[in-house]
Every structure is written in C-alpha cells, then in structure tokens.
Amino acid sequence: MDLVVFVCAAAMVLVGAVGVIVRNHPVHAALSLVLTLFGVAVLFILQEAEFLAAVQVIVYSGAIVVLFLFVIMLLGVDKAENLQIEPIPVQRPLAVVVGGGLLAMLVTAIVQARDSVPTGVGAGIDLATQTGDSDSNIKQIATDLFGDRVFAFELLSVLLIVAVIGTVVLSRKPDKVGGPQ
C-alpha cells in the first residue's frame, strides 16, 4: 500500500520538478511547482508528519506559489523564455555534469550509509497509535518548538522582521525619500 502511494507521490514530485525547469513559461513553471509541493505533502503524510503536510499545503502552495504568480502578473514578466537556445557556451553540458556528479555523490552517500542511520535516538514520533491522541504530532512539535528550540523559534521572528523591512526598503519608489509614512 505504502509503495503505491510512494510511487505515485514520487512521480508527482519528479514530474513537477522537471516541469519547473523545462517549461518555458514562468506561469507553467509555477504550476508544476505546485504539483511538486503537493507530492511532497503526500510524502509527509506517508511519513506521519500530518501537521507539516498541512503547513506545506497552506504555506507553500497557498502562499508562496500565489506570491510567485502574483509577482509574475504584476511585472508582466510572463514572457516565455526560449530554452532551445543557450547563450552561455558549455553551460548546459556543465550543468548536466554537475547535476550528474552531485546526484551520484549523494546517492552513493545515502546508499552506502543506508543501514548506518541510527534508529530510536529520540522518543519516537509514531505516538498517535500509542496514546490514541490524534493530534499528538502537533503537541509533540509544540513541546519541541517551545522547549529547547524556543531560541530558534524566536529567531524566526527576527527573520520575518528582516523580510518586512527588506520589502519596505526595496519597494520604495526611487525618487521618494525618507522613512515610510
């Protein structure tokens, strides 16, 4: 059963990913991205990360991709880029070589270490079945989040502040001077 789901999800992911890099039109690329994101979400569920799956769908597909599309429309940069021609010489072959090498190395590492990944280091995740508590996953995440990781969590806020200020700085009209009113 898992296998079937996995295969389907993997297919979604990969097809979407390939779509992102081969579709000439940015909008199409964005849409294929959505496909990938959904596939990843499915795989999350398969990995008992229900909460993350939800967030994935909401944040990514919901917010980020929409943002992408929005900007595309805003700037009207929906001009298709011609992927047939490659202005920079040896860029594509290089990309292929690099990609191949990267993949080879990563897979080698993963396969070589397939049974060396320690198990049961933490308290375990699969608690819904044990405690019968349907939202144990969320609770667990929350405890972790506000436990030892609270510092990181607070850092996120700094990150968001930066993002906000950043957009303010960047989006001001060139001639306008002074702070935002």
Map the footprint of other proteins across residues 113-132, applying CB under 8 A.
Answer: 113-114, 116-127
**8/4 Cα distance (integer angstroms):** 6
Shortest separation between residue 67's beta carbon and other proteins, angstroms: 6
Site string for other proteins, 9-38 (x = CB under 8 A): -x--xx--xx-xx----x--xx--x--xx-
Site string for other proteins, 141-170 (x = CB under 8 A): x-xxxxxxxxxxx-xx-xxxxxx-xxxxxx
Only one residue has tokens 């405890």, namely 143
Shortest separation between residue 143's beta carbon and other proteins, angstroms: 6
**37/35 Cα distance (integer angstroms):** 5
Cα-Cα end-to-end distance for the chain: 58
**9/13 Cα distance (integer angstroms):** 6
Shortest separation between residue 126's beta carbon and other proteins, angstroms: 8
Shortest separation between residue 134's beta carbon and other proteins, angstroms: 14
The Cα angle at residue 63 between residues 62 and 69, in degrees rounded to 5: 95
Map the footprint of other proteins across residues 55-84, applying CB under 8 A.
55-56, 59-60, 63-64, 67-68, 71-72, 74-77, 79, 81, 83
Map the footprint of other proteins across residues 90-109, applying CB under 8 A.
91-92, 94-96, 98-99, 101-103, 105-109
Query: Hey, what are 28's tokens?
Result: 């199409």
Task: Centre a 10 Å sphere on the Cβ of residue 141 and count the other Cβ atoms it contains.
Answer: 17
